[in-house]
Structure 1
Amino acid sequence: MTNDAPTGTAQSPTDRFRSRLLEPTLESARAIPFYERHWKGRDLNLDELPTVTKRQLLDNLASTLRPGAVPANVGHSTGTTGRPFFRVRGREEIKAYSEYLRSVRTATAARSGVPVPPMLQISGAPITIHGSVLPVETDDMRLAVDLFSAEGLAATVDLLTSPSLDLLTEGFQRVLSASPGGAVLLTQELDRRGMPTRELGIEAISVYNSALLPRQRSLLRRHWDARLVERFSLSEVLGGATLCYECGHYHLDPVVVPEVLDLDRDEPAADVGELVLTELHPFSQVQPMIRYRTGDLVRRTRSVCLPHELTFDYVGRARAGVFWGGELVLGEIEVLEAVEGIPGLAHAPVGEEREPVGAPLISLRPETRGDELVLVEARVEVVTSHEPGGAQNVLDQVHERLTQLLAERAKDGIPLRVVPAAS
């Protein structure tokens, strides 16, 4: 089995779990028309099977489904990278995943000697962004709330402080599950009202959908006395990874087999590459993802927490990376972090107001000019209503920070420069 773990090391319990499920995963997937064609003439060795992309699956959607399967849940991806992709799941795999989650909770309680209470998941994920929610069968409850409009935020705060909710959910631990923007908007609404966050009784905040930028993380930690959980996940794939604050790297869930491959070859990447995931049977049966190219760039790391397993740092979307000579020069996240918080720079609009809670609205266009890589500030959106000096001052600050970022790369002998955006 391939999982890109450090060579010469013993398998971890997680890898043994994956190894046990991998063979039935591949045998089961071979009965699906798409994989039957895609793997024709290949042995069922994961390392030697071709990867799949979202476009391939979209173009062959009907043949990616198990013949005769009865769907129990249909979700969809966001469509941010193209056409939305529909995910179909069956009753048996939902049951298997539910039993797995219950077993993890039972094992956690046994190790700690403390019972794990059921969870009230306060979900700020609008259906239009993340498709339907997988209806796992646990003792938890899910409460859908609106964090993306002024009226919705006000109603959410009133709902979460209602004595009726306390009565109905006594004995449940409260977890806020939201995108970075949604979590920040709720925080800002509570601050505007002068209401302490502890009045909501939230014990943990789980953020997903996009990586927290430093200012967002700082704001949440400053205002909340709650455990912060940063998740990497995709709407197309079951499972994901969690950022570990001990080692600073992402730890992957056991229900997927991870790989880090070159962008243009099905070969392991030495450092930065595309994250490739395989869902395991029985948690994925009707429409399994086998060696699915996620479109996300990660940097493989070695963790003191999990020395025998693959861990990673998130670099950003592959389409937003800047490459030179086949090597990554700039990743999406480091560009966003470099310009985050510049006064007057527009951030992704969330809700009815253009609150600075999303990612900075900037993109770069790499161009090769002779023997030099030139980064053109192709898109820099500016809000200048309260900023002295107007748009040009904002653009100058963006250019200065990007030039500083590129100066670090120039030390490696990469001929780089950045061209300012027009005001």
Structure 2
Amino acid sequence: MIALDSDCTAKEALEAFHAALLPATLEHAVHAPFYRELYGCAEATATIDLAQLPFVSKQQIRAAGVSAQIRDGTICDEVFTSGTTGQPFVSPKGHVEQRYIQSFYQNLFAERREAPLLRALQINNPYHGHLVAIPVPIHSHKIGIYDEGSFRHGRTLLAEKHADPGVNPHISLLIGLERALRAFTLEAMRIAPDGMATRLTSIISYSQYLTRRWRQRHETYWGCPVIDRFGLSEIFGGATEDPESGWWHFDPVCIPEVVGSRSRTSVREGIGELVLTALYPFQQVQPLIRYLTGDLVEVTHTRSSRDGTLAIRPLGRARYGVPYPDADAFVVAPSEILEALDEIDGIDRIPRFRDASQVADPFQVGHPCYAIAHRYEGGQTIVTILVQAPPADRAQLRRRIEDSLMESSLRFREAVDSKDARLEVDTRAMLTPDLISHAE
């Protein structure tokens, strides 16, 4: 256990937790030949400053394979990224670290388990291979996208009072993948357009980027706030949104940093690329130290509800944004483009859950088909939005896209007004779409 003074602030407690676990994390990492060679030493000590260590990319870890891992005879499960092109990034999770996670969270929530458990309706995650279970004090009724009739059963459960001993009588949480929640809400709106009487207090969304309009749609229909969860399949630990402040705070079990996309210098306020360090003993077989996630985020240390502590807003995969040519700043963020295009009729969409009979419109659930390109000419950044669309009314579609992006992105509108940027919109019969929440 970490001894803390009774007057210790939350910020000080977090720093003490990180300081206690980081030395063991580094000492463990150099058991892997990859890290031993990278750091040029066979031993890591408590005197090493994390900020002085080199960054590590997904490409390096993938190329290193087992030399970047510490299996030591442990039994492993495989977790897959949500990549859609090429080979997925597969990260092993050992049984030893999973047993530790189980024990840690059982102890953490021990007192909470003496009270009635929260009751949740949870839509099963059909992706990622193995899922690392965390023993939270929640009793979940689990339904599946592909289980015919499960949406109807879920709506019934939401409306009923339950009598299981030691569990709250009403469902207060709705949990699921962002796209699964879209499908569930769309079906509920189709069946009961005037709304449903439930006791929901929160919706927990994860995996895909949650747009403003879909957040509003969920909250209006179900009458409760959405709490978004940010994470990567290869890192144990993530960030949870504070709905009051609109900022995401990280779990103590990983150390976040944000750096400039070009300079790689620390960013405390502004936009940059997220860097994560997974802490031992929560992550053992696949050490990830100063791991360049590829995610673009807005970061603050002063504007969230936890002054002095790093907080973020996810903005999508950095490679789908448009950077300025010689700076860390971005002309437009990936999330701003998706916000602008997601609700525009006339753009083709990728169907999702097409084989699920209870998903009435797989295309409405899916992602719009678009891709972003950019080039630099005459001191300007030219942003090109390519959309997959049928040939009719293409000129009108272009105007709607231009107007929507100007409304969605203040930073882009200012760049256009100052002549630093220009927008071009074109259509294609077929293209490979940008998916801003998916792994590279």
Structure 1 length-normalised TM: 0.83
The structural deviation recorded for 1:146 is: 2.9
The structural deviation recorded for 1:187 is: 1.2
Q: Structure 1 residue aligned with 2:420, among 395, 410, 415?
A: 415
The structural deviation recorded for 1:21 is: 1.0
The structural deviation recorded for 1:75 is: 1.3
Distance in 1 (CA, whole Å) between partners of 2:414 and 2:148 is 42
Aligned length: 400
1:89 is aligned to 93
Distance 1:53 1:153, change over 3 A: farther
Q: Any idea what SS the aligned residue of 1:419 has?
A: strand
Distance 1:318 1:125, change over 3 A: same
Q: Return 182-191 or 95-104, whichever deviates more.
A: 95-104
Distance in 1 (CA, whole Å) between partners of 2:348 and 2:149 is 25
Where structure 1 has 5 or more consecutive residues not aligned to the other structure, the ranges are 1-8
Distance in 1 (CA, whole Å) between partners of 2:192 and 2:245 is 35
Where structure 2 has 5 or more consecutive residues not aligned to the other structure, the ranges are 1-8, 355-360, 429-440
1:58 is aligned to 62
Distance in 2 (CA, whole Å) between partners of 1:265 and 1:408 is 23
Contact 2:235 2:278 (C-alpha < 8 Å) held by counterparts: yes
Contact 2:121 2:143 (C-alpha < 8 Å) held by counterparts: no
Alignment of 1:110-149 (within 5 A): 115=115, 117=117, 120=120, 122-126=122-126, 129-137=127-135, 144-147=142-145
2:352 is aligned to 350
Structure 1 runs (4+) greater than 6 angstroms displaced: 162-165, 167-170
Distance in 2 (CA, whole Å) between partners of 1:215 and 1:361 is 18
Q: Cα RMSD (Å) of the superposition?
A: 3.2
Q: Structure 2 residue aligned with 1:253, among 251, 254, 264?
A: 251
2:150 is aligned to 155
Contact 2:322 2:331 (C-alpha < 8 Å) held by counterparts: yes
The structural deviation recorded for 1:100 is: 3.0
2:75 is aligned to 71
Q: Any idea what SS the aligned residue of 1:130 has?
A: coil
The structural deviation recorded for 1:189 is: 1.2
Contact 1:180 1:211 (C-alpha < 8 Å) held by counterparts: yes
The structural deviation recorded for 1:133 is: 1.2
Q: Structure 2 residue aligned with 1:401, among 400, 404, 413?
A: 404
Distance in 2 (CA, whole Å) between partners of 1:333 and 1:253 is 23
Contact 1:260 1:273 (C-alpha < 8 Å) held by counterparts: yes
> What amino acid does structure 2 have at the position aligned with 1:399?
E
1:14 is aligned to 14
Distance in 2 (CA, whole Å) between partners of 1:60 and 1:367 is 33
Distance in 2 (CA, whole Å) between partners of 1:361 and 1:169 is 48
2:192 is aligned to 194
1:5 is aligned to none
Contact 2:295 2:318 (C-alpha < 8 Å) held by counterparts: yes
Distance 1:142 1:246, change over 3 A: closer
Distance in 1 (CA, whole Å) between partners of 2:119 and 2:205 is 16
Identity of aligned residues (%): 26
> What amino acid does structure 1 have at the position aligned with 2:82?
T
Distance in 2 (CA, whole Å) between partners of 1:407 and 1:140 is 45
Structure 2 length-normalised TM: 0.80
Distance in 2 (CA, whole Å) between partners of 1:246 and 1:137 is 26
The structural deviation recorded for 1:179 is: 2.1
1:236 aligns with 2:234: yes
Q: Return 89-98 or 15-24, whichever deviates more.
A: 89-98
2:330 is aligned to 328
